[in-house]
A and B are shown apart, each in its own frame.
Chain A
C-alpha cells in the first residue's frame, strides 16, 4: 500500500529510485529523503533502541529526529545517519540500527576538503528570517554568506503549504534566492550546516556536496567540504524545533511530531498513516491536522491539553468533521510495534498515527556556543537568546517568535544591524511578506509530561531514558542539569538532546519545585550535527598529513638506494646499503671509508637561522651558554643552548658572517622550535634588542665532506680556495667557488676527521654533490647517512641532542663545562646552574660503555644497574644506554650512556639487563677514538 499522494511535494514522480532497506527493496523519487521514501512505503519501524531493544520509528522530519538512525551499506558503509537527512538515490542500501553503527574495514575512497571564506555577514538558516536578513545585508553591499542544512532554501516554509503575498511561498523564496545569487559578493550554500561557532567570528560549516548523488557521485569531487568561515557579523536564523510531550509508551513508531508529519505531507507528498490522533498543547498542530485531513487522513481526534481550544481553528476543524477535545491529554498508547491505539483518559482510540506537539524550542545551539546568555521564556517553555552580542544576532523563530511576518521583520532588522555593524549603509529595503498562516500563535500551554507509567515515559528516545530515570536522579540528590544529564544520559545521543533536553529540564524543575528561569541549561557543544572524521581531516592525510621535506639532493639519494629516516618532517638518508648489506654492514663500510679516505653526507636538513641586527651578538650571548659576541668575522664557534631550567635544548655552530650578522645552525628536528624560542624572547622579554631572525634552512644545500682525503677532493673542485691547514684553519669559513658555484665552505667536524662543510644555494645542491662524487671517485668517496654520522660522532663522544639529552641533562653532565661561560653576567639557564640539584656530584653524566664481551651490542634504551644480580623491584637504576653501535674504528661494540656519578665511575664495571641476563660493561670516558684530536687537521 502506498502512502504517497498522487500529487504535491517537491519530488520528481517521473523518476523512480530503487533502494533497499532492512533487506527489502522499495522505490522512491528524487527529492525524497530515506525517511520520506520509507513512510511512503508504509515503513515506520526503522531500528530498535540501544538499551531496551524497543522498536524505534521516525519522530521528526529533519536533523532533530531522535530515532531514525540508519547504517548506510552501499555505496559505502557509513554509520549512524538519520533517515530524515539522507537524500534518496538509486541503489542506496541501508538498514535500521540498534543504537550502534558499523565502520567499514575497507578504506574510504572519497575525497574531502576544506575552504576558507571571509565575509561581512554570515546568515545561518535560509528560512524567511534568514532570507530577508541575507538580502537586506546583501543590498547594503556587504559580502554575505547564507547557508542552510537543507537541499533548498525556505526553512519552515518547506514543510507548509502556505501563501506569501498571495502566491505560493516557494515563489517568494525563489525570488529572494535568485537576487542573492546574482548579487556580487554573495555566497549561498545548500546542504551546509554551521556546526561550530568559535571566537572572533570563526564559524565552521559542513557542506555535503555529493552525498545525495549516491553511486553517481563524481570521483574527483570532494564529497564533503568543511567551510572555515571568518565573519564580522553573524545572524542566526536557525529556526525552532517542535517539542514533543512525554507520556506513557510515547516511543512507538507511528508517533510523530505534528509539524514533521506536515512536512512529510507538503514537501514529499507522503501521508504518515491512515488514521491519526493529534495531541497538542498549542495551535500549530491544528494546521497539520487540517492539512492531513484534506489529504485524506482520518483525523480521529485532536486532544488539546489547554482548557479551551482556539475558537477559530476549532471551527475550521468542525467544518472538516474533526473532533477537538480541550483539556485532554494522551495517557498511553498500544503497540506492540507501531502504535495501534491511543488512550485519552478512559477513551481508547484506534489509529496508526499519533501526532504530537508540545510547543517549540528555538535552536540556540550556535548562539550558546558563541557564549550568548540564554533566558527562559515562560510563555514558550523554552530557552531563548537572552541578549544581543556585539557580533551575533538571532532572528526569526530562533528567538521564539512564531509569526512569519514578525520573523521576517526580525530578519530585516538583524540583517540591517549586522551590515551596519560591519560598516555598510542600508540599500533598498526588502519588503516583508504577508502570510496566510493561521497556526502561529505563541499561546500554548507548557506541558512537559503527562503523569503515567514513569518507566515507560520516554524523555530521550534514543538513550531509552525515562521520566523514572529523571526522578531517580533528582531523588539521588542531584540538582544540576549537567549531573542529571550524566546520570540519565539524556541528550548525549546523536541528536544531542535537540528534542529531549528542554523536556528533561522541565521535568527536573517540576520535581525539584524550582523555577526553570533559575536553572542553567546544559552547555551546547559543537558540533551542532555530527560531522564525519574524514571531513575534518580533509586533505591532511597520507603524504599531506604532515609536509614531507626533502633536500635538493634527495633525488640522488633515492636513485642510489638510500633508506630513509624520518627526522622531524625531513626524510634523511639513513644509510646506503649495497646489495646484500644490512644496516650494520653498510654502516661499518661507510664509517671505514670515511675514516680511512673520504665520505660525505647530505647535511642540508640542519636548521639555519640568519640572525641580524645591532644587538645580534648580545642576543646570542643570552641564548647560548657560551660567548658569541666575541667571535670574529670569518670564524665559527660551537655553542650550546639551554632552557631556563639549565637543561640543554639544542646545539650547533654559529658563524659570524659580518659585524651585525650571524648564521646559527640548529639540529634538524629543532629548527622551528629554536626560531620560535628566539622570537619568544625577542618579542616578550627583550623587545628593545635590535635583532631580526629568519629561517634560511631551505636556502642552502649543505654537504659535509669528511675524512683524511677531504682536502684533496675539495682542492680539486675549489681551485680558488687555498685549502692548506694554515690558510684555512679549523673553525673558520671562506666564501669561494665549489664546482664553479659560489659556495661557503666551513671547516668544522662532527667526526673528529679533517672535514669541510660545503654550503651552496639549494638550487646547485645536486650538481655540487655530483661534482664532489666525481672528484672523490679516485679516493673511493662514500656517501653516508645519519647512522654513520651517529657512529662517527659517538666514537668521539659528541652528543646528539634528543638522544644523549632528554631535557634533564646539563652541559656539565655532557662534559661540556668548557662551553659554559664563566664571564657572561647572564644567559638563559645560568641561574639554574646555581641550584642545589645542578651541583650534585651524583648527577647522571655522559660516559662511554664498553661491553666486556666486545661482540655484544647493547640495545639502546637499556637501563644500567650496579650489581650482577637483580634484586626484587624496584631496582635502583643508574642510568641508561643512549647510543650503541658496532665500531669499525674500534673493532668492537661500544655505547654512550648517561650514568649516575658517571665521571667518577670511569673504570668501574656495571651491568646492563639484556633479555634474561646481565651484561657486564666497563665505564669509560665518552671519547673513545682519537682522544688527542690528531686527525682533525688531516
Chain B
C-alpha cells in the first residue's frame, strides 16, 4: 500500500469560513451588474475598491459564478498578437500577479508557462510573428524548437513521425493557470465585504429606459431601479442587450471541457495546439484539464456533442501518448459569446448608463481582473479606460476590428 509521508491532496488550501450573505434585493442601486460570473464580480469589486462605488448589486440568475466562470479551463496568458489585445491581457496578467494578496484569497495562481505548439510552416511563421510582436510590446515570449518544447514539457511527443509533427512552439513563462472558483469567490467575498449585494436566483428579464437612459431592471425577484447597468452576461449577452433594443454581433456556442481522474504530476506546464486541436494542463490536485474548439452550432443548452470530445482525445494522444490510459472523468459545456473578430466588446452603448462587456468567447477567464478593472473605470467615468477603448461596439461598423482569430488563430 502506498502511504506517502504527505498525501497528495494535503497541500491544497481551504476556502474561508465565511464568504457572503444572501440579502434580499434593495429597491434601487447606483450600479446594477447583470451576471455574477467572474467578470461581473470583478467589476463590482473594482467599482467598490477603486472608485468607492459600493451601492452596487450583482444580479445572478443562477448560482454565483456558475456559468463559464465555473466551467473554463483557466488558462491565463497575455501573448496575443495585436497591440490592443496585448494591452488589456497584459494589464490583466499584471493584476493576476498581485491578485492573491489583493483579494486575500488563495487563488492558486500558478505561472507555470504556456506553450502554443506549431505544426506547419505557416504555424511557425505566425508563431514567430507573435513572439516578435509580444517582445516589442514588453511581453515575455520565446520561440522554442522541438527540443526546447521537450525540455519544458517532457511528455510532449516531438517525434517527426507523427501525423502533424511539432515544429516548435511559442512559450510565455509568465502565463499559467489559477483555480476558477477560488478566483470568483475571492472577488465575491471581497466585494461583499465592501458592501456589494450579491443576489442569486435573480434573473434579469427586462431593461427599462427613459429618455435614452437606463432606469431600472426587471427581474424574477421584482423591479430594481438602477443609476447604471453593466452587462456581464457572457453567453447570454445578446439576449440581454436585445432587451434594450441593441443587436450584438455575437454568436453563442457551446464550448466543452473535461477532466481526468487525479494523476501523479506528469505535466508541468500548459500546452495548447490549434492544429492538433486540444489544450491541456494538469490542475493542482492532479487531474488533467482539457479543452478544444467550440461546437459549431448555436445554442444556450450548456451541452455539446460527443464527437468533439472524441476528437480532442485523439488529438491529446497524438501529442501526449502517455495519456492513453488516463480516464475521462467528467465533461461539461459552457456557452461562449463569440464575436466576429474573436475580440471582446467592452464599453458604452447607445443607451445612456448602460454598459456592455461581452464577446470574450473562449478566452475571457484570463481577462477577469483586467476587464473588471477597466470596466469599472468605464462605468465610473462613463468613458472607456484606455485599455478597452479599442474594443467598442462601433468597430463592427467602422471596421476597426481586432482580429485575433484569423491572425493568431489561438483560442482560449
Binding site for B on A (CB under 8 A): 22, 45-53, 55, 76-80, 95-105, 107-108, 110, 114, 196, 198-199, 202, 204, 226, 228, 463-464, 472-473, 475-480, 482-483, 486-487, 492-494, 496, 523, 525-527, 530-534, 536-538, 540-543, 545-546, 548, 565-567, 645-647, 802-803, 806-808, 832, 835-838, 859-863, 865, 870, 872-875, 877, 880, 882, 913
Contact with A along B383-412 (1 / 0, CB 8 A): 000000000000101111101011100000
Rounded to whole Å, the gap between the CB of A722 and the closest CB of chain B is 40
The 5 closest A-B pairs by CB, nearest first: A807-B406, A873-B138, A861-B128, A837-B399, A835-B399
Query: Would you call B98 an interface residue if the criterion is a C-beta within 8 Å of the partner chain's C-beta atoms?
Result: no
Q: Is the CB of A536 within 8 A of B313?
A: yes
**A836-B400, A861-B126 known, 14 other contacts, Cβ within 8 Å:** A22-B1, A53-B4, A100-B263, A202-B306, A476-B15, A482-B63, A487-B15, A531-B327, A533-B316, A533-B325, A565-B120, A832-B399, A837-B401, A873-B139
Contact partner of B200 among A46, A99, A479, A496, CB < 8 A? A479
Q: Is the CB of B311 within 8 A of A48?
A: no
Contact with A along B260-281 (1 / 0, CB 8 A): 1111101000000000100000
Q: CA separation between A863 and B125, bound complex, in Å?
A: 11
A79 cross-chain contacts in B, Cβ below 8 A: 261, 263, 325-327
Rounded to whole Å, the gap between the CB of A202 and the closest CB of chain B is 7
Nearest to A837 among chain B residues (CB) is B399
Contact with A along B7-49 (1 / 0, CB 8 A): 1111010011111111000000000000000000000000000
A525 cross-chain contacts in B, Cβ below 8 A: 330-332
Query: Would you call B376 an interface residue if the criterion is a C-beta within 8 Å of the partner chain's C-beta atoms?
Result: no
Rounded to whole Å, the gap between the CB of A94 and the closest CB of chain B is 11
Asked, given contacts A548-B163, A835-B399, whether A526 binds B264 with beta carbons under 8 Å apart, the answer is no
Asked, given contacts A79-B261, A534-B324, whether A540 binds B132 with beta carbons under 8 Å apart, the answer is no
Query: Would you call B315 an interface residue if the criterion is a C-beta within 8 Å of the partner chain's C-beta atoms?
Result: yes
Nearest to A839 among chain B residues (CB) is B399
Query: Would you call B321 an interface residue if the criterion is a C-beta within 8 Å of the partner chain's C-beta atoms?
Result: yes
Nearest to B90 among chain A residues (CB) is A874
Q: Is the CB of B262 within 8 A of A80?
A: yes
Query: Would you call B3 an interface residue if the criterion is a C-beta within 8 Å of the partner chain's C-beta atoms?
Result: yes
B200 cross-chain contacts in A, Cβ below 8 A: 479-480
Contact partner of A98 among B7, B19, B119, CB < 8 A? B7
Asked, given contacts A50-B262, A645-B399, A861-B127, whether A530 binds B133 with beta carbons under 8 Å apart, the answer is no
A875 cross-chain contacts in B, Cβ below 8 A: 136-137
Q: Is the CB of A542 within 8 A of B407?
A: no
Q: CA separation between A487 and B397, bound complex, in Å?
A: 45
Q: CA separation between A482 and B137, bound complex, in Å?
A: 41
Q: Is the CB of B1 within 8 A of A837?
A: no
Nearest to A487 among chain B residues (CB) is B15
Asked, given contacts A100-B286, A873-B136, A873-B138, whether A108 binds B310 with beta carbons under 8 Å apart, the answer is no
B323 cross-chain contacts in A, Cβ below 8 A: 103, 533-534
A80 cross-chain contacts in B, Cβ below 8 A: 261-263, 327
A100 cross-chain contacts in B, Cβ below 8 A: 8-9, 262-264, 286
Q: Is the CB of B325 within 8 A of A477?
A: no
Q: Is the CB of A494 within 8 A of B329?
A: yes
Q: CA separation between A543 and B62, bound complex, in Å?
A: 45
A95 cross-chain contacts in B, Cβ below 8 A: 1-2
Asked, given contacts A108-B325, A530-B328, whether A537 binds B314 with beta carbons under 8 Å apart, the answer is yes
Among B199-229, those with CB < 8 Å from A are 200
Q: Is the CB of B18 within 8 A of A475?
A: yes
Q: Is the CB of B136 within 8 A of A865?
A: yes
Ordered by A's residue number, 9 sampled pairs between the chains whose C-beta atoms are within 8 Å are A80-B261, A100-B286, A198-B305, A475-B17, A477-B19, A566-B119, A807-B407, A859-B128, A873-B135
Q: Is the CB of B399 within 8 A of A546?
A: no
A478 cross-chain contacts in B, Cβ below 8 A: 19
Among B327-361, those with CB < 8 Å from A are 327-332, 340-341
Query: Would you call B50 an interface residue if the criterion is a C-beta within 8 Å of the partner chain's C-beta atoms?
Result: no
Q: CA separation between A487 and B179, bound complex, in Å?
A: 12
A202 cross-chain contacts in B, Cβ below 8 A: 306
Rounded to whole Å, the gap between the CB of B317 and the closest CB of chain A is 5
Q: Is the CB of B314 within 8 A of A532?
A: no
Nearest to A54 among chain B residues (CB) is B7
B125 cross-chain contacts in A, Cβ below 8 A: 803, 860-861, 882
A53 cross-chain contacts in B, Cβ below 8 A: 3-4, 6-7, 10
B3 cross-chain contacts in A, Cβ below 8 A: 48, 53, 55, 98
Query: Would you call B70 an interface residue if the criterion is a C-beta within 8 Å of the partner chain's C-beta atoms?
Result: yes
Q: CA separation between A45 and B305, bound complex, in Å?
A: 40
Asked, given contacts A51-B9, A52-B10, whether A534 binds B325 with beta carbons under 8 Å apart, the answer is yes
Q: Is the CB of A480 within 8 A of B405?
A: no
Rounded to whole Å, the gap between the CB of B60 and the closest CB of chain A is 10
Among B65-82, those with CB < 8 Å from A are 66, 70
Query: Would you call B318 an interface residue if the criterion is a C-beta within 8 Å of the partner chain's C-beta atoms?
Result: yes
B326 cross-chain contacts in A, Cβ below 8 A: 79, 101, 103, 532-533
B20 cross-chain contacts in A, Cβ below 8 A: 476-477
A835 cross-chain contacts in B, Cβ below 8 A: 397-399
Contact partner of B403 among A226, A808, A865, A872, CB < 8 A? A808
Q: Is the CB of A540 within 8 A of B311?
A: yes
Q: CA separation between A869 and B330, bound complex, in Å?
A: 53
Q: CA separation between A95 and B119, bound complex, in Å?
A: 39
Q: CA separation between A601 and B406, bound complex, in Å?
A: 29
A870 cross-chain contacts in B, Cβ below 8 A: 136
Among B273-318, those with CB < 8 Å from A are 276, 285-286, 303, 305-306, 309-311, 313-318
Residue from B9, B131, B133, B332 whose CB has the most chain A CB atoms within 10 Å:
B9
Q: Is the CB of A464 within 8 A of B2?
A: no
Contact partner of A541 among B1, B132, B317, CB < 8 A? B317
Q: Is the CB of A534 within 8 A of B70?
A: no
Residue from A104, A199, A548, A880 whose CB has the most chain B CB atoms within 10 Å:
A880
Q: Is the CB of A873 within 8 A of B137?
A: yes
Contact partner of A103 among B6, B264, B305, B316, CB < 8 A? B264
Q: Is the CB of B164 within 8 A of A546?
A: yes
B135 cross-chain contacts in A, Cβ below 8 A: 873, 913
Q: Is the CB of B264 within 8 A of A108?
A: no
Contact partner of A101 among B70, B263, B403, CB < 8 A? B263
A545 cross-chain contacts in B, Cβ below 8 A: 162-164, 276, 314-315, 318
Q: Is the CB of B2 within 8 A of A567?
A: no
Nearest to B400 among chain A residues (CB) is A837
Q: Is the CB of B261 within 8 A of A874?
A: no
Asked, given contacts A477-B19, A565-B121, whether A531 binds B406 with beta carbons under 8 Å apart, the answer is no
Contact partner of A486 among B139, B181, B400, CB < 8 A? B181
Q: Is the CB of A49 within 8 A of B7?
A: yes
Q: Is the CB of A98 within 8 A of B8?
A: yes
Q: Is the CB of B128 within 8 A of A807?
A: no
Query: Would you call B322 an interface residue if the criterion is a C-beta within 8 Å of the partner chain's C-beta atoms?
Result: yes
Q: CA separation between A855 and B264, bound complex, in Å?
A: 51
Rounded to whole Å, the gap between the CB of A863 and the closest CB of chain B is 4
Residue from B126, B322, B324 whose CB has the most chain A CB atoms within 10 Å:
B324
Rounded to whole Å, the gap between the CB of B108 and the closest CB of chain A is 13
Asked, given contacts A52-B7, A806-B406, A861-B125, whether A534 binds B317 with beta carbons under 8 Å apart, the answer is yes
A541 cross-chain contacts in B, Cβ below 8 A: 314, 317-318
Asked, given contacts A48-B7, A807-B405, whether A108 binds B327 with beta carbons under 8 Å apart, the answer is no
A110 cross-chain contacts in B, Cβ below 8 A: 324
Rounded to whole Å, the gap between the CB of B396 and the closest CB of chain A is 9
Q: Is the CB of B316 within 8 A of A860?
A: no
Q: Is the CB of B137 within 8 A of A874?
A: yes
Rounded to whole Å, the gap between the CB of B167 and the closest CB of chain A is 9
Q: CA separation between A875 and B135, bound complex, in Å?
A: 9
Contact partner of A51 among B7, B120, B403, CB < 8 A? B7
A492 cross-chain contacts in B, Cβ below 8 A: 330
Nearest to B321 among chain A residues (CB) is A107
Asked, given contacts A98-B2, A647-B406, whether A537 binds B316 with beta carbons under 8 Å apart, the answer is yes
Q: Is the CB of A837 within 8 A of B398?
A: yes
Nearest to B327 among chain A residues (CB) is A530
